[in-house]
Structure 1
Amino acid sequence: MTENTLLIEQLQDRIDNLEAKIAFQDDVIEQLNIEITAHQEGISHLKDQLNLVVDKVKSMNASQIANPEDEAPPPHY
């Protein structure tokens, strides 16, 4: 083998390794994108539920909310 042929083979090996790494990284990025999308949908759902709870608490009358001072102390006191 000539020196040029050896150099070309080494460069081709490096290119092949880089292409394999890029393909792996592309796959990982796609998987992460899917996970991020799923998490974002979950967060949106939780925000909607929290807004419903906040609205329900705000709509409660003061008489519906128990005053801790009006409650009898627990039996262990």
Structure 2
Amino acid sequence: MDLESRLTDLEIRYAHQEEALEVLSREVIEQRRLIEQQANRIEALKSRLSALAESSVGRPEDEPPPPHY
């Protein structure tokens, strides 16, 4: 292999590496967006659950047992 073909081979490999890095970077950005979205949903559900816990509905352990007991 002469120097020119080795250089061409390295340039091709570099171009493929650069493309792969760009694809991975876009994927990381998308995953981060999805994680933030899920975290926001979890926080909203936690708020709703807290609101339900504080509602006028009693806790199941405070209820008297059913009459058939």
TM-score by length of 2: 0.75
- Aligned positions, number: 65
| Structure 1 alignment gaps of length 5 or more | 1-8, 73-77
Q: Which runs of 5+ in 2 are unaligned?
A: none
Report the equivalent of 1:59: 51
Q: Which has the larger radius of gyration?
A: 1
RMSD, matched Cα = 2.4
SS of structure 1 residue aligned to 2:4: helix
Spell out structure 1 runs of 4+ moving beyond 6 A: none
Can you list the C-alpha shifts for 1:12-52, whole angstroms capped at 9, x where unaligned?
Answer: 11111010000000000001111111111011000000000
Instruction: Report the identity percentage.
Output: 17
Shift of 1:67: 1.5
TM-score (norm 1): 0.68
